């Protein structure tokens, strides 16, 4: 995998955080800062995991903290394109029900547009 990259794209309807790295300690500082910024600025944050093949306890902790922070602001964190490995970790750790999960960012954005609260 190339150098880790976390990119925030701000849209009118949601912030999209593109993660192009394993969700582990190496990407943690950048991911923590980016997720905090996204949650502070937008009620809906889509985390594009399509280029994040794995997830460890550090990455999971960051995602759960972002979820809690968003919920305190009446928002939500949504996953797009997670790998089977990431889905398995979420299920094993019993947090898969916290996050709406979609095949890709487009499907997540369409769901947000259709949601009455969005």
pLDDT given for residue 3 in this prediction: 61
Which positions ≥6 away from 57 have C-beta within 8 Å?
none
pLDDT tens string 10-43: 999 999 999 999 999 999 999 999 999 999 999 9
pLDDT tens string 44-77: 999 999 999 999 999 999 999 999 999 999 999 9
* DSSP structure class, residue 106: H
* Largest CA-CA distance found in the chain, in angstroms, rounded: 39
């Amino acid at each position: 995998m190339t150098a880790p990259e976390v990119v925030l794209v701000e849209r009118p309807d949601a912030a999209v955080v593109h993660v192009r790295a394993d969700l582990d300690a190496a990407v943690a500082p950048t991911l923590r800062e980016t997720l905090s910024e996204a949650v502070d600025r937008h009620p809906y944050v889509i985390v594009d995991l399509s280029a994040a093949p794995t997830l460890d306890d550090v990455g999971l902790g960051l995602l759960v903290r972002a979820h809690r922070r968003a919920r305190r602001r009446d928002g939500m964190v949504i996953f797009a394109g997670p790998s089977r490995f990431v889905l398995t970790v979420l299920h094993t750790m019993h947090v898969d029900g916290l996050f709406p999960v979609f095949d890709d960012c487009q499907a997540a954005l369409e769901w947000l547009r259709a949601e009455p609260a969005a």
